[in-house]
Structure 1
Amino acid sequence: MSPGERSLFPLLCSACHTPIPAALCNSGESIHCPHCSIQLQVELFPAILRPLHEGGTVGLQVTEGEASCFYHPDKQAVKICSSCGRFICSLCEIDLAGRCLCPVCLEQGRQNEQLSELVTKRTLHDSIALNTTFLPLLIWPITLITAPIAFYLAITAWRKPSSILPRTRIRLILALLFSALQIIGWLVLCIFLFQKWNS
């Protein structure tokens, strides 16, 4: 193996660390190391055997009278970020569901969960509201506190996005219904006790 080939193909024997010629690889059979004669079987992805090509310059250089990228002043702007309006070059443009975003807006949208395409989980407000209605029934006096909370949660969750997977609003409807019944029940009980106390 020539020095140039050795530098492009640095595969070494696991025992003696001698370079293994590329011609012995991907044969499908066991081979012997040319130096120490240990038995090896070498399988590589074909792309590693291809010669490397020198890459070109990425992004056009900015010339006089043209807009430059906000993040790379020496690169010509090719797009405008649809979120912040900054001029960006081909290195910075990120296509997300038909929108062109710069890296900063993409990261901010991911952190703030404002980009629905990048959201991987959501709080299930409808399940929280429904559980806040039913679980306290095991210790029914707590419903005096939890019923209004469940009703409030169901109302505020009505316009919030639900699960990433399609879900109906049946949990919110049930939470509203049962929490309203619990509130009405407590009102009736309070009125009954008040009338009994005054009689």
Structure 2
Amino acid sequence: MTEYIVKILESFYVTHDVKCFIVEKPTGYDFIPGQGTEVSINTSEWKNQMRPFTFTSLREQHHLEFIIKIYRDHNGVTNMLGKTNAGAELILHDVFGAIQYKGKGVFIAGGSGITPFISIFRDLYKKKELHGNKLIYSNKTSEDVIMDFELKNMLKEDYVKLYTRQNVIGFVSRRIDRNYLIENIIDFNQHFYVCGTSDFVKSITGYLIDLGVTSNSLVIED
């Protein structure tokens, strides 16, 4: 497995527990929007502790960007990343990932599951090909929404937010279940992109298949 040591150029929080890292891009390193790599921190204690994260930058940019949810409740990799700033080094590995754009459809994300979609949306927006795609984005509260302003700017009326633990005027406060999909999606003969926790993906894909979506139309991480 190839290793690429890169320096963190910038790091900053985009929500109370989600942090953005802008890092050097190795020469010749490329990816398809939606893909990611395993990342570790280049210190003796952490360099062998690899975790998968998705690229959120555009592939033609001269740097790489990761948007990472920080879990402070245990002494893991993301907790350490929360304390890691510009000047430190990360180790990147080979690119992988099954999530990539197959055509217009509905993107369904739970929490930090939005991250593989960000690069896809940015790429399509730059190409003026984003219109006609819809995002349904579920979070616990409004404070948990990642890149809210940019998503709204790119997707406009095709951006739908749901909150599972908060009532906010003008927004839906409910979970994405079978009834919600029936009420809010007219055409199930299109692509569906789903990303979130394993339980989230399992339940949403189960509902979609039950409603007639074929496995070939589902785009999820293997």
The verdict on a shared fold, with TM-score over 0.5 as the criterion, is no
Which structure has more helix as a fraction of its residues? Answer: 1
Q: TM-score, normalised by structure 2?
A: 0.17
Larger Rg: 1
Larger relative contact order, structure 1 or 2 (CA cutoff 8 Å, min sep 6): 2
